Amino acid sequence: VKDDRTITHAAHWADGPEKTALYTPGVPSPLNTGHVISRRSFLGASAGLGAAAIGGGWSVARASTGRAAPVRGAAGAGQPKARARNIIFLVADGFSAGALGLLEQYLRVTDRGPSQWRRITSGPGVRMALQSTYSANSVVTDSAAASTAWSVGAKCNNGALCVLPDNSRPEPLLLRAKRSGKRIGCVTTTTITHATPAGFYANVPVRGNQSMVGEQLVHRPVDLALGGGARYVDEALAGADGIRVVRTAAELGALTGDGPSRLQRGERVIGLFNREHVNMHLDRTEQEPGLEAMSRFAVEMLGRDSDEGFVLQVEAGRVDHAAHRNDAAGLLGDMIEFDRTLGFLAEWTRSRDDTLLVVISDHGCGAPSLTMYGRDGIRGLRRLGDVRHSFEWILEQLGKPETPEAGAATLARLVAEVFSVDLKPEELEFLRRALAGQPVELFTKRHELTSLLGVMLGNRSGVGFVTSDHTGEMTDTLALGAGSETMPAYIDNAGVVAWLTELAALAR
């Protein structure tokens, strides 16, 4: 086909994930393949996608090779020179543009703004991108498939961790980085065996098998792992030597002190600060270190201890859980913690010239947003600052009520305590019906009791949610530091690792 109106190749959708080319027009980059295709074939391929996506399976066939996306220009004679010695991959799980807006607006109306995100993106030297997140079998991804795509550059089905539809098991990113001589680690507020960290070090067909993930965490050479999930890791740890295990914030701090607990060069560390997830920010105990403190430890330990640099994933994992529950205050708490961690990591990255910081989300969740005008909206947002606990905490206190009536009464007391809100009789009736298992909302994605709580608080705060599940929107991505200028403005999640491999000259 001869067509003089050629366009540069930015058509990730058209080529499918394993061929995703990373190219930003006008930016000199080793990733610039110079590949051009005709407008006609671009449109043809794009038009074809719609029909195929509806039919399902289109990306299964395309993603079945199990190989990371090829990058030209890096392979060949000799080892390519790394532009980024260290990579910090900061994830806010389930973090959408709506959550970002809420963070910024909340901080503004409570005179604590602007957010670190806003400060960083208002300054020089930062790149922003939109990222598509679909998985092999679903337009709406889960965290396991999204983490897999980042880690190995290929799409798998929702629920799988680095096990592709053809049952191949490509080497996860952190292990490849280890093979390149780097130190590797994961930090999260979920269980350390949860989907997002696990996708960077484990190959497990079903994400729910967290004990199998825990086995791999212990028996693979991960230098640092901090988070929750003791119940999934303890058994594997029982037979392992040479790993320092810490259980509290104080024990973690002692590793960097001058006392007898001081960490020796090359030692591995596993921190397990809860049997399950680390508590959400609103409910956090003193025993549990925050995300910023864990990240500080991670970059100090991995940075000090390595000749070849490090690759570290940091996850604000509970943003997603709050969004699933339509818990606006809980969401803000963990978003604020994420934002502080971003501020710290950005400062650390900018204090040197050998580190790339990528800030990314695996998918949207809940689609939260302020939807109240004028003073009501401002007052509503401020009210969220008075909320004392997360919805998760409320559910724990509620337990299993004997009758729907008793449950509704308990909830009314808890709502008064946590939100300083006296529920109206008609609201109590809605709670009673929900507890009796009756639908209180036509949209089935909001049948959960927590969605109902979200609506009740939303009537006072002005913050609404569309769904209790993930959303298919594109997500915001930032890059700063070494090599960040080569990030394309549009990126697919399966294209990220080729870019990182190139920048950090990782083994293939």
Catalog residues that contact Zn ion under the rule CB under 5 A.
320
Residue 99: both structure tokens together = 């959550």
| Closest residue by beta carbon to Zn ion | 320
Give the 3-state secondary structure of residue 399: coil
Q: Taking the complex as a whole, how short is the minimal distance between the CB of residue 338 and Zn ion, in angstroms? A: 15
Bridge partners, residue 187, by sequence:
226, 314
Nearest in space to 96 (alpha carbons), one of 131, 147, 52, 46: 131
CB of 95 to Zn ion, least distance (A): 11
- Looking at the Cβ atoms of 24 and 471, the one nearer to Zn ion is 471
Tell me whether residue 309 or residue 454 sits nearer to Zn ion (CB atom). 454
Can you tell me the distance from the alpha carbon of 268 to that of 50, in angstroms, rounded to the nearest whole number?
Answer: 48
Question: Least distance to Zn ion from the beta carbon of 331, Å?
Answer: 12
Residue 279 or 410: which CB sits closer to Zn ion? Answer: 279
Largest CA distance in the chain: 75
In angstroms, how far is the first alpha carbon of the chain from the final one? 35
C-beta closer to Zn ion: residue 16 or 94: 94
Instruction: Closer to Zn ion by CB, 160 or 236: give it.
Output: 160
Supply the DSSP string of 328-358, one letter for each residue: HHHHHHHHHHHHHHHHHHHHHHHTSSSEEEE
Distances (CA, A) of 488 to 12, 27, 254, 463, 484: 11, 9, 42, 33, 9
Contacts 24+ apart (CB under 8 A), 49-54: 49/13, 49/14, 53/139
Write out the two tokens for 20. 């995703």
Q: How far is residue 191's CA from residue 172's CA, in Å, rounded to a whole number?
A: 19
CB 159 to Zn ion: min, Å: 12
Give me the least distance between CB of 227 and Zn ion, in Å please: 16
| φ, ψ for residue 89, nearest 5 deg | -115, 95
d(CA 236, CA 1): 59
CA distances to 23, 32, 37 from 4, rounded to whole Å, are 20, 21, 10
* E strand or H helix that includes residue 269: strand 268-272
Pairing between β-strand 490-492 and β-strand 126-132 as defined by DSSP bridges = parallel
**CA–CA separation, 484 and 6 (whole Å):** 27
Nearer to Zn ion among residue 18 and residue 392 (C-beta): 392
Measured CA to CA, the distance from residue 382 to residue 402 in angstroms comes to: 35
Q: Least distance from C-beta 469 to Zn ion, angstroms?
A: 8
Cα gap 256→32, rounded to integer Å: 43
Q: Alpha-carbon distance 50 to 434, whole Å?
A: 38
User: By C-beta, is 95 or 106 nearer to Zn ion?
Assistant: 95
Q: Which is nearer to Zn ion, 320 or 476 (CB)?
A: 320
Query: From the CB of 364, what's the least distance to Zn ion, in Å?
Result: 10
Is the CB of 29 or the CB of 137 nearer to Zn ion? 137
Three-class HEC string of 478-502: EEEECCHHHCCCEEEHHHHHHHHHH
Name the residue nearer to Zn ion (CB basis): 320 or 427: 320
Closest distance to Zn ion from the beta carbon of 321 (Å): 7
CB of 150: closest distance to Zn ion in angstroms? 16
Pick the closer one to Zn ion by CB: 292 or 320: 320
Give start and end residues of each alpha helix (H) in 153-199: 173-179, 195-198
Please tell me the distance from the alpha carbon of residue 222 to that of residue 396, in angstroms, as a whole number.
Answer: 33
Give whichever of 320 and 392 is closer to Zn ion, judged by the CB atom: 320
CB 164 within 8 A of CB 63: yes
Nearest approach in angstroms of CB 93 to Zn ion is 7
Please report how close the Cβ of residue 178 comes to Zn ion at its closest, in angstroms: 28
Minimum distance from residue 143 beta carbon to Zn ion (Å):
6
